[in-house]
Amino acid sequence: MISYFKLWLARRKARRNLNEYPIEINSINLPIEGKVELAIWKNPLLRPMEIHQENVNFYKKFIQKGSLVIDIGANIGDTTVPMAIAAGKEGLTLAFDPNLYVFKVLEKNSSLNKDKTNIVPLPFAITESDEYFYYSSSEASFSNGGISRELSGYHGSFTLKEKVKGINLENYLRTNYTKWLPKLSFIKVDTEGYDKKILKTISNLIEEFKPAIVAECFMKLSNKEKIELYEIIENIGYDLYYFYDFNTSAEVIKLDKKEDMLKRKETFNFYAIPKK
C-alpha cells in the first residue's frame, strides 16, 4: 500500500510539474539474441520498458535481416530496439520522434547494442510538408504528446517552448536513403491520432515498396476518420489485422471491412500486409 501511494504521488507530480528524470541502463538476456541493453527513462508516467524474445519474434514475422525499418513516433525506443534487433546490425532502423525529452532516451537506446542493431535517431515529426509545429502534451513531463499548427489544446495544455520540425518522409528518404529504399520492409506509426495523415503522405512509398505496416487507431478519432484510416491502407492493396500486443502469442483478428474499425472504443493497434 505504501509503495502504491508513493507511485501515485510521483505520477501526480509528473503530470503537473516538469522534471528531468534520469536514465538507467538495464541488461536483459534473451534466449536467442543473448544480452540486450535498454535505456530506461525513470519517468513514473511510463510503464517499465521490457523486451522479451516474443517481442523480437513478433517483428521477425515482418522484418528481414539487412532491411530498412522505420519507426515513426518512436518515443524512448521501446518498439525501436526489438525492431532493430530483427533487422540486425546489417540493416538500418530510422527512429523518428520530435519530443526533445523522450528523444534523449531514444538517442541513448540507439547507442547501445551496436553488435545487434543499427539505429539512427531523428528528431523530426513526419508531416505533409517541411514546416514547424507546436508540440503539446497532457503531462508536464512530456512522456507523450502530439503536434499541431495551432495551440488548440487537442493534445493537452503543456507545450514545448520551441517548435518542432516536421518533414515530408518520402522526400527525406529519397534524398538521404535512396539506396536503402528497395530494402524497405516495415513501417510503424504511433502518433496520437496523426497516423492517418502520415500514411496518406507516404502512400506512394507503401505502394512502391510494399512494406508491412503497424499503425494505431486513436480513440479520439471520429468514426469517419477511423474508416478513412482503413480505406487509405486497403486501397493500396493491403489486408488489415487487429492485434492485442506486440508478441507472437497475442490475439489477432482480421479486419474484413471498414466498419470493423468502429468495434473498439479504446485506442488499438493493427498491422497491415499486402494482399496475396
How far, CA to CA in Å, does 260 sit from each of 23, 66, 233? 40, 35, 14
> For residues 212 and 273, what is the distance between their CA atoms, to the nearest angstrom?
5
Confidence (pTM): 0.94
Q: How confident is the model at residue 20, as a pLDDT?
A: 82
Check if the beta carbon of residue 59 is closer than 8 Å to that of residue 213.
no
Check if the beta carbon of residue 247 is closer than 8 Å to that of residue 57.
yes
Structural domains of the chain, with CATH: 51-274 (3.40.50.150)
> For residues 19 and 15, what is the distance between their CA atoms, to the nearest angstrom?
10
Q: How confident is the model at residue 150, as a pLDDT?
A: 85
> For residues 247 and 249, what is the distance between their CA atoms, to the nearest angstrom?
6
Q: How confident is the model at residue 14, as a pLDDT?
A: 75
Q: How confident is the model at residue 247, as a pLDDT?
A: 92
What count of other Cβ atoms lies within 10 Å of the Cβ of residue 28? 15
Q: How confident is the model at residue 234, as a pLDDT?
A: 97
> For residues 161 and 55, what is the distance between their CA atoms, to the nearest angstrom?
35
Q: Which three cell numbers stand for residue 58?
A: 513478433
Q: Which three cell numbers stand for residue 250?
A: 497475442
Instruction: Report strand pairing: 164-167 vs 131-137.
Output: antiparallel
> For residues 134 and 194, what is the distance between their CA atoms, to the nearest angstrom?
14
Contacts of 29 (CB under 8 A, 6+ apart): 35, 36
Sequential pLDDT tens for the chain (276 residues): 556 566 667 778 777 877 888 999 999 999 999 999 999 999 988 887 889 999 999 999 999 999 999 999 999 999 999 999 999 999 999 999 999 999 999 999 999 999 999 999 999 999 999 999 999 999 888 888 888 888 877 778 899 999 999 999 999 999 999 999 999 999 999 998 889 999 999 999 999 999 999 999 999 899 999 999 999 999 999 999 999 999 999 999 999 999 999 999 999 999 999 998
Instruction: Report strand pairing: 268-274 vs 131-137.
Output: unpaired
Q: How confident is the model at residue 155, as a pLDDT?
A: 78
Cα 22 to the chain's mean position, in Å? 22
Q: How confident is the model at residue 17, as a pLDDT?
A: 79
